[in-house]
Amino acid sequence: MKIATFNVNSLRKRVGIVADWLERHRPDVLCLQETKVQDSEFPLLALASCGYEITYRGMKSYNGVAVLSRKKPEAVFHGFDDGGDPDEARLLRVVIGGLPIINTYVPQGYEITSPKYAYKLGWYERLRRYCDKHLSPDAPALWCGDMNVAPRPIDVHSPEKHLKHVCYHEDARKAYEQVLAWGWQDVFIRLYPDRQQYTFWDYRAPSSLEANKGWRIDHILATAPLAERCVRVEVDVEPRRAKDPSDHTFLWAEFSI
Amino acid sequence: MKIATFNVNSLRKRVGIVADWLERHRPDVLCLQETKVQDSEFPLLALASCGYEITYRGMKSYNGVAVLSRKKPEAVFHGFDDGGDPDEARLLRVVIGGLPIINTYVPQGYEITSPKYAYKLGWYERLRRYCDKHLSPDAPALWCGDMNVAPRPIDVHSPEKHLKHVCYHEDARKAYEQVLAWGWQDVFIRLYPDRQQYTFWDYRAPSSLEANKGWRIDHILATAPLAERCVRVEVDVEPRRAKDPSDHTFLWAEFSI
DNA sequence: GCACCACTGG
DNA sequence: CCAGTGGTGC
């Protein structure tokens, strides 16, 4: 079983990249973030020939998540159900062949002094409670997405420069780790604890890609019984080097199921 | 001698189309309108390999004219010199090998009830006086550009529907004809009085090109001694069918000199 | 840097 | 429909 995740940074702009990647890699499931498209504008037609079931929830301008799967999900859940703030099309949970899969686009947070950062930290707390409510750490489950957190120094270039960055600041890493403590294992770290491999390179730093100044902020996590069966995890850098790329690239994991 | 004109509708977006066309057609002179680029942003580098002298005057957002010529102009004049309103980078006169060439992007006029339309009509009056002042109808001279006037019924699809259109309204045609009366001959009409051939197809009408619902509003005119030597005039529709086209296409004329 | 938005212009 | 502008977000 092959699972992939990709922050597409506008699906309408990147539908060709996504279709090409699906053709070549044929994952069972692809989680997309930052589709940036309202449901009424979702490019279903351009993806139709790929042969994937498509589950999506978007809004105008910002955020938006989608799950493309070879099998039709038997259940679909949109957003948090905690009665709190709307989650702005950042969370999608599907169940496919009995396996729950959570796809998240976690708030970036802007600056550590910003209310947006407090919202990010709170979002992780809500997510921890969401896991408590809907999943069991003892049963197979997956959590994929753009977490906007680089969990370790190795996961960001020049970590010492980014101690106050919203994606590396202590509080953000702790908030993220608190969700992991529920029962998630990062399958990349599990298989390759010493490997440095980024998934995101900022458009703004002109040579960020050439100089490999990136961040590992997109992650695939699994509960213990599934994590044990993870046999391979890869970042495919090629789409980041393509014409008109997203600032992120694809991360995928293979499970012996 | 081959002379061409093209409303490029943003030179920065169309620099590839222009360079390709120059390579294939090698005109002696190409007049461009609606370059929509400030002089400081003019894409000189992207055009450098074509081997043309480049004369230009632009502004932010709107208008902008340029002349590309195989020979360096011995004189260059920007705008009207009548002490009136600034001409907004709509008029450029060069002298190349002794031949005066005027390149104009005539105001469109918006609506016939608009002050912009009055400005258009006045612009033609100023242009007539400009010809009086700087040129002789008895000496070779060229006037090329987007005139925003379809002079005859055959020059617009469904003329009866466009009687109040700023590019076909009686007053606009009269204002244009008053400049012609100074001593200009439309070389297209001169050679092919019955040919229907448009140079502009609106982006907004989705099938304007497929249904050939266009306008002939780009023109090449010559004074009598030069017009007599015009041997061929063509509209090249191909660039209008290219990817990311301008809404206009190239018009060119060949003179036996 | 590169998406998005709303707006203006033709 | 497709340019341009300025603004926001990451």
CATH number for the domain that contains residue A121: 3.60.10.10
What percent of chain A has pLDDT above 90?
97
Average confidence (pLDDT) over A162-187 = 98
Q: How far apart are the first and last CA of chain A?
A: 6
Residue B84 pLDDT = 87
- Three-state secondary structure call for residue B93: strand
CB B13 within 8 A of CB B245: no
Which nucleotide is closest to the Cα of A38 by its C1'?
A: C4
End-to-end CA separation in angstroms for chain B = 6
> Among A28, A56, A87, A105, which one carries the catalytic annotation?
A105
Assign B184 a pLDDT band (cuts: 50, 70, 90): very high
**Residue ranges of B for the binding site for Mg(2+)?**
7, 34, 146, 148, 247-248
Q: What residue is closest to D5 (Cα–C1')? A: B61
CB B136 within 8 A of CB B118: no
Q: Which residues of A are annotated as a binding site for Mg(2+)?
A: 7, 34, 146, 148, 247-248
Domain count, chain B: 1
What integer is the mean pLDDT of B153-158?
A: 97
Q: What residues of A form the annotated binding site? A: 7, 34, 146, 148, 247-248
pLDDT digits (tens, 9 = 90+) for B68-89: 999 999 999 999 999 988 788 9
Statement: the CB of A93 is under 7 Å from strand C? no
Joined together, the tokens standing for residue B101 give: 């060439």
Share of chain A above pLDDT 70, in %: 100
Angstrom distance (rounded) from CA B66 to CA A143: 57
- Which of the nucleotides lies closest to A203 (Cα–C1')? C1
User: In the prediction, which pLDDT does B56 show?
Assistant: 97
What is the pLDDT, as a whole number, of residue A211? Answer: 96
pLDDT of A48 > 90? The answer is yes
Give the nearest nucleotide to B109, CA to C1'.
C10
Q: What is the mean pLDDT of chain A?
A: 97
pLDDT interval class at A216 (50, 70, 90): very high
Residue ranges in A140-197 assigned as alpha helix (H): 170-183, 187-191
Query: Where do the DSSP E strands lie in A8-116?
Result: 29-33, 53-57, 65-69, 75-78, 91-96, 99-105
Q: In chain A, what are the helix, strand and coil shares in percent, each to the nearest 5?
A: 30, 25, 45
- pLDDT category at A257 given cuts 50, 70, 90 is confident
Task: Tell whether the model's pLDDT for residue A192 goes beyond 90.
Answer: yes
Q: Is the CB of A28 under 7 A from strand C?
A: no
Query: With 0-12 CB in 10 A as exposed, 13-18 as middle and 19+ as buried, what is B147?
Result: buried
Kindly determine whether the C-beta of residue A40 is less than 7 Å away from any atom of nucleic acid strand C: no
**pLDDT of the residue at B257:** 85
pLDDT of residue B193: 98
Q: pLDDT band at residue A230, thresholds of 50, 70 and 90?
A: very high
Q: How many CB atoms lie within 10 A of CB A116?
A: 14
Inter-helix orientation angle B115-134/B170-183, to 10°: 0
pLDDT in tens, B87-129: 889 999 999 999 999 999 999 999 999 999 999 999 999 999 9
DSSP letter for A12, please.
H
pLDDT (mean) for A10-25: 98
pLDDT at B102: 98
pLDDT of residue A201: 98
Domain that holds residue B33: 2-255
Confidence of residue B159 (pLDDT cuts 50, 70, 90): very high
Question: Contact, B161 vs B150, CB < 8 A?
Answer: no
Band (A206; pLDDT cuts 50, 70, 90): confident
pLDDT band at A131, cuts 50/70/90?
A: very high
Given a contact cutoff of 8 angstroms between Cβ atoms, the answer to whether B93 and B101 are in contact is yes
